[in-house]
Amino acid sequence: MRRGRILIFLVLIVIVGLVVLFLAFNQFGGGTVAVATPPPTKQVYYAAQNIPQGTTITQDMLGTFALPPENVAEVMFEVGEEANLVGQTARFTLDQGTLITSSMVGAAPGELPGPAWAVQVPPGMVAVSIPTNRLATAAYGINDGARVNVNACMTFVDIDPAFQTALPNFTAVLTGTGFIPDSLPVLTVNIASGGDASKQGRVELDPTLQQPLYAIPSEPQRPRLVCQMILQDIVVMNLGNFPLQTVVATPDPNAPQTAPQQEPPPDIITLMVTPQDSISLNYFVYSGAVISMSLRNPNDNSRIDAQSATLTSLLTQYNISLPSKLPYAQEPRIDLLAPPLLPNDVVTVQPQQ
């Protein structure tokens, strides 16, 4: 009797355990494993190697990678559209890994209108050239493809609005007999003095003698200098002259060999700017402004609200104090600041006029 109860109890334990295992298996691992369906993609073409400007694109230069359909633009080339891409010409240099779009390629090289480098100018932009030198190009550290800020310095003077000439005006003495009835007025202009002595001045009261004095300028008006950053994050298209299409003469094997001539340093630079900025740069160039450039990091896209640099702003910004008038001074007298002459400096002697 006792053994029968124990047997029944064991059977119940086994049944309960089987039920628990069955439920656990169905809940945690016994269901059908769902196979994840990969999202749909489209294969698009990219440059598998560096493709120079003007190169005819072949199948070996291309590679493909997958993109979600929503990220594929209409200007991209998909697999199956090889006929629209292979055989085309690169409008500009395509770096390895660049996703190729329809604006990057064109017809055959002979069918591209204009010079080969014209396709480097983005739509809506223009290329404009300005004079430059070693100082204005960060010691020629600025070259093709660099990103720069453009600075301009110019001088201003006070002028007479009517004459449009620099002040002060020259003076003259005007005398006459006035208006005589039934006749024209008689006026006579007499120059009191000529040259610098005839410049317009002002009357001042001498504080010691209490006598009026007529003061005239001792020198011409000093122009006032101002500098400002006029353009930011500008791409340099070319430093120096573009190559000219010249007829290559057949070399004479009997002619004596000449030493290769050293190319002169570049004195012109071409920038890619907006059409309005190109007009402004022309004004700065022909108005006599001095233009210089500062080199930027290619990954720096920041813009700053630059302030004009004037004598007043420099004294305030850098806390420069005006020197006091003292009863002693340095000897020898210094009228102009000149950099010290170093042993390895190259001195250029200017020819006398």
Which has more confidence, 160 or 12? 160
- pLDDT averaged over the chain? 83
Least confident of 4-8, 117-121, 133-137: 4-8
Confidence band for 311, pLDDT divided at 50, 70 and 90 = very high
Q: What is the pLDDT of residue 286?
A: 97
Name the residue among 150, 128, 125 with its Cα closest to residue 137.
Answer: 150
Least confident of 150-159, 244-253, 312-321: 244-253
Confidence band for 189, pLDDT divided at 50, 70 and 90 = low
What is the CATH class of 42-112?
alpha beta
- Averaging pLDDT over each range in 61-75, 161-175, 220-234, 321-335, which range is the top one? 220-234
The answer to whether the beta carbons of residues 171 and 198 sit under 8 Å apart is: yes
Least confident of 93-102, 109-118, 193-202, 267-276: 109-118
User: What average pLDDT does the segment 289-298 reach?
Assistant: 96
Q: Which residues contact 309 (CB under 8 A, 6 or more apart)?
A: 226, 227, 228
Which has more confidence, 277 or 339? 277
Which has more confidence, 238 or 255? 238
Q: Please report, for residues 11, 17, 32, 305, the alpha-carbon distance to residue 22 in angstroms, rounded to integers and kept in the order given.
A: 16, 9, 15, 73
User: What average pLDDT does the segment 324-338 reach?
Assistant: 90
- Averaging pLDDT over each range in 318-322, 328-332, 342-346, which range is the top one? 318-322
Q: What is the pLDDT of residue 231?
A: 98
Reported as type and span, the H/E element at residue 67 is: strand 62-67
Which has more confidence, 135 or 253? 135
Q: Collapsing DSSP states into helix, strand and coil, what is residue 272?
A: strand
Q: What is the pLDDT of residue 291?
A: 98
Burial of 70 (0-12, 13-18, 19+ CB in 10 A): exposed
User: What average pLDDT does the segment 142-159 reach?
Assistant: 96
